[in-house]
């Protein structure tokens, strides 16, 4: 495992280097002079000139990349022009919000997706199987923003149970925090639950037909033990990979949900930054997300070792 870990870690650095070039390069494809947008509707020429100078906009691309990459290596991701706050501060401010949202979403997705997947595999071709499949299809085909608005109209406007949007820190008021997070987390988790359900189902079906499960049953073990202890554990391997990948996606992909529920997280940060051409924020957030994605993949690979003893040899 030690060798494997070193091998994997060695690939991370060059990957991050290429990712940083890609992020920087792609952003240059955004049309328009960022200084013109940042100068606001008055577009004072002296402000435009000042922004050009401040962000080295007149320098060649490689020079600008070096300015940025140099800062990143020193831990300085730059500053948001729009609200004049260091990008790192913004990330640290938004990260817990999106992490919480993603975590709650993945908990919801796992509880629904795993349960539905197991049920539909165990009760294959019964009413429960069909019901779970219909649910999965629904979850996959329902657009996030539509479901979000419907939930707001029902739970907030009609019933008045939950706040329509916004965010409260859990350290300030846990109850208010959960009240604000449950709908967006459900909306996010719902789509992933469907994917997880489909994967759990097929993995479970494969495992349930294997010899060792038959042996376990032949030994007279309780069906619950066979399913939850023997079958599920093996079936979980592909599901864990998927879960980790989805978690990475959630970090950056909560964009629509965060917009609809006005959750001040990563997704909202990056969308607003793109539209306002707040380049340092876009670069910082994307680099951070990419790094998180790479690290999560690594962790998922390591998790195989823990879950499946056969891989440890």
Partner 1 sequence: MRMTSWITRAGIALLAAVATIATVPGYAQTLRFGLAEDPDVLDPTLARTFVGRIVFAALCDKLFDIDEKLNIVPQLATSYEWSADRKALTIKLRRGVTFHDGEKLDAAAVKFNIERHKNMAGSNRRGELAPVTGVEVVDESTARLNLSAPFSPLLAALADRAGMMVSPKAAQAEGDKFGANPVCSGPFRFVERVAQDKIVLERYPNYWNKGEIHLDRVIYLPIVDSTVRLANLRSGQLDIIERMAGSDVPSLKNDSRFKIARITEIGYQGITINVGKSDLSQKNPLGKDARVREAFELALDRDGIVQVAMDGEADVGNQWVAPSNAYYAKNVPIPKRDVARAKALLAEAGVTNPSFTLVTPTTSDAQKIAQIVQAMVKDAGFDVKIQSTEFATSLDMADKGQFEAYVLAWSGRADPDGNLYNFDFCKAPLDYAGYCKPEVDELLNRSRSALDAAERKKIYEQIAATVLKDRPIVYLFHRHWLWAHIAKLSGLRTIPDGLVRVQGLKMN
Q: Which two tokens stand for residue 20?
A: 């940083």
Q: Which residues contact 89 (CB under 8 A, 6 or more apart)?
A: none
For partner 1, the binding residues in 81-100 under the rule CB under 8 A are 82-85, 90, 93-94
* Rg of the chain, C-alpha, whole Å: 23
- Smallest separation, CB 179 to partner 1 (Å): 4
Of the pair 205, 294, the CB lying nearest partner 1 is at: 205
Min dist CB 189 to partner 1, Å, is 11
Is position 301 an interface residue for partner 1 (rule: CB under 8 A)? no
Contact status: 46 vs partner 1 (CB under 8 A): yes
Helix (H, G, I), strand (E, B) or coil at 178: helix
Among 21, 161, 214, 295, binds partner 1 (CB under 8 A): 161
Residue 125 in the binding site for partner 1 (CB under 8 A): no
Least gap, CB of 170 to partner 1 (angstroms): 13
CB distance 229 to 284 below 8 Å: no
Q: Which is nearer to partner 1, 97 or 244 (CB)?
A: 97
Classify strands 79-80 and 85-86 as parallel, antiparallel or unpaired: antiparallel
In whole angstroms, the minimum distance from the beta carbon of 191 to partner 1 comes to 17
The helix (H) or strand (E) run that includes residue 300 is helix 279-307
Judge whether 93 and 285 are in contact, CB under 8 Å.
Answer: no
**Interface with partner 1, residue 300, by CB under 8 A:** no
Cβ neighbours for 191, distance < 8 A, ≥ 6 positions apart: 139, 140, 142, 144
Rounded-to-integer distance, Cα 159 and Cα 153, Å: 8
168 near 176, Cβ under 8 Å?
A: yes
Please compute, for residue 270, the number of CA atoms within 13 A of its CA located in the half-sphere on the CB side: 22
Exactly one of 4, 9, 10, 54 binds partner 1 (CB under 8 A); that residue is: 54
Q: Does 245 bind partner 1 (CB under 8 A)?
A: no
Q: Exactly one of 115, 142, 206, 249 binds partner 1 (CB under 8 A); which one?
A: 115
**Does residue number 76 form part of the binding site for partner 1 (CB under 8 A)?**
no
Distance CA 312, CA 300 (A): 14
- 2-10, 64-72, 201-209, 275-283 -> range binding partner 1 (CB under 8 A): 275-283
Binding site for partner 1 (CB under 8 A): 30-33, 36-47, 50-51, 54, 80, 82-85, 90, 93-94, 111, 115, 118-119, 122, 128, 149, 152-153, 155-157, 160-168, 173, 175-176, 178-179, 182, 224, 259-262, 264, 268-269, 272, 275-277
């Amino acid at each position: 495992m030690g060798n494997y870990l070193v091998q994997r870690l060695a690939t991370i650095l060059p990957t991050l280097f290429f990712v940083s070039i890609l992020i920087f390069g792609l952003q240059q494809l955004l049309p328009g002079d960022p200084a013109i947008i940042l100068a606001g509707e008055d577009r004072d020429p002296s402000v435009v000139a000042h922004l050009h100078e401040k962000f080295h906009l007149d320098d060649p691309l490689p020079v600008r990349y070096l300015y940025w990459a140099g800062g990143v290596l020193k831990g300085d991701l730059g500053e948001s022009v729009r609200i004049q706050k260091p990008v790192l501060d913004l990330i640290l401010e938004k990260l817990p919000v999106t992490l919480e949202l993603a975590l709650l979403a993945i908990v919801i997705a796992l509880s629904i997706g795993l349960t539905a997947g197991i049920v539909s595999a165990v009760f294959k071709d019964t009413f429960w199987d069909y019901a779970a499949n219909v649910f999965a299809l629904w979850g996959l085909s329902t657009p996030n923003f539509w479901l979000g608005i419907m939930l707001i109209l029902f739970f907030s406007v009609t019933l008045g149970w939950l706040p329509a949007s916004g965010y409260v820190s859990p350290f300030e008021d846990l109850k208010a925090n959960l009240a604000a997070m449950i709908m967006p987390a459900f909306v996010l988790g719902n789509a992933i639950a469907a994917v997880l359900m489909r994967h759990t189902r097929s993995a479970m079906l494969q495992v349930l037909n294997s010899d060792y499960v038959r042996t376990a049953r032949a030994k007279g073990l309780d069906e619950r033990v066979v399913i939850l202890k023997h079958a599920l554990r093996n079936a979980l391997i592909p599901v864990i990979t998927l879960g980790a990948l989805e978690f990475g996606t959630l970090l950056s992909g909560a964009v629509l949900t965060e917009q609809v529920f006005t959750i001040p997280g990563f997704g909202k940060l990056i969308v607003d930054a793109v539209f306002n051409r707040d380049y340092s924020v876009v670069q910082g957030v994307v680099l951070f997300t990419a790094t998180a994605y790479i690290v999560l993949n690594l962790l998922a690979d390591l998790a195989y070792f823990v879950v499946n003893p056969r891989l440890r040899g």
